[in-house]
Copies of this chain bind each other. A is one copy, B any other.
Amino acid sequence: MDKNNPLYKNQGIHVLTALFTVENGKFKVLLIKRKNQPYKNKWILVGGACYNNEDVDQAMQREMLEKTGLKNINYEFFKVFSKPDRSPIMRMIAIAYVGVIDCNKVKVLKETTKTNDADWFQIDRVPELGYDHTEILEEAIEYLKKRIFNSHILKNLFPKYFTLPEVYNAYVSILDKKIDRRNFRKKLLADGIIIDTGKLLSQNGKKSAKLYSFADDKLI
């Protein structure tokens, strides 16, 4: 392995996350705006370099903490993006993740050394993104839709206790289609994804809703 062989010198490892939330029934993704070239003033997904003293999962946890202030977030690797020319500066491979959090728990930094804006965008109102991030975002959405019933990826979207209608509405927003409420409840309970806590939440003008929590153990 010759570090100076032009065939494979100056390669870089990047990690990035399509970080989603659901707010008021709207499915949204966190984007940041680049301050400098290349893609100056373009919106992109959050991410950064993988440092030499950490593996890619650790790098993503660090980036997540730096970008959102949150620790121990559930997120999942979904694909490697490696087109040779995906970055105009140098050969850069992207290890891409999907995560879902409660945007109200987060204070996103509007300005950093590299960005001059940050915001949650409704999925159907995302502008053209820098780099190959438009493609990455599309694949991230597809991945999330596939995994939503077989993982705890939504665990950080809700507080410890939540009602069934809340989680139901999140699924509908993300999948962008109707789901049968009875089958939905049956499936999440049968698969042990959520647990009936026995508690009730009284709400004005409505029948009280049961409170559930996510199961602790990991799925597939």
Write the residues of chain A forming the contact surface with B, with a CB cutoff of 8 angstroms. Answer: 1, 3, 5-13, 49-57, 77, 80, 82-84, 87, 89-93, 95
Contacts and interface: CB of A to CB of B under 8 A. Distances in A.
A8 B84 contact: no
Contacts of A3: 10, 12, 90
Contacts of A51: 7-8
Identical subunits present: 2
Contacts of A92: 1
A1 B55 contact: no
Given A3-B10, A11-B50, A93-B93, 4 more contacts: A1-B90, A11-B52, A52-B91, A56-B80
A36 to B, nearest CB: 10
A52 B8 contact: yes
A56 B84 contact: no
A96 to B, nearest CB: 10
A6 B51 CA distance: 9
A5 B52 CA distance: 10
Contacts of A1: 12, 49, 87, 89-90, 92
A185 B3 CA distance: 51
A114 to B, nearest CB: 10
Contacts of A57: 82
Contacts of A49: 1, 5, 7-8
A91 B3 CA distance: 10
A55 B82 contact: yes
Nearest to A85: B53
A56 B56 CA distance: 17
A81 to B, nearest CB: 8
B12 A11 contact: yes
Contacts of A53: 7, 84
Contacts of A11: 11-13, 50, 52
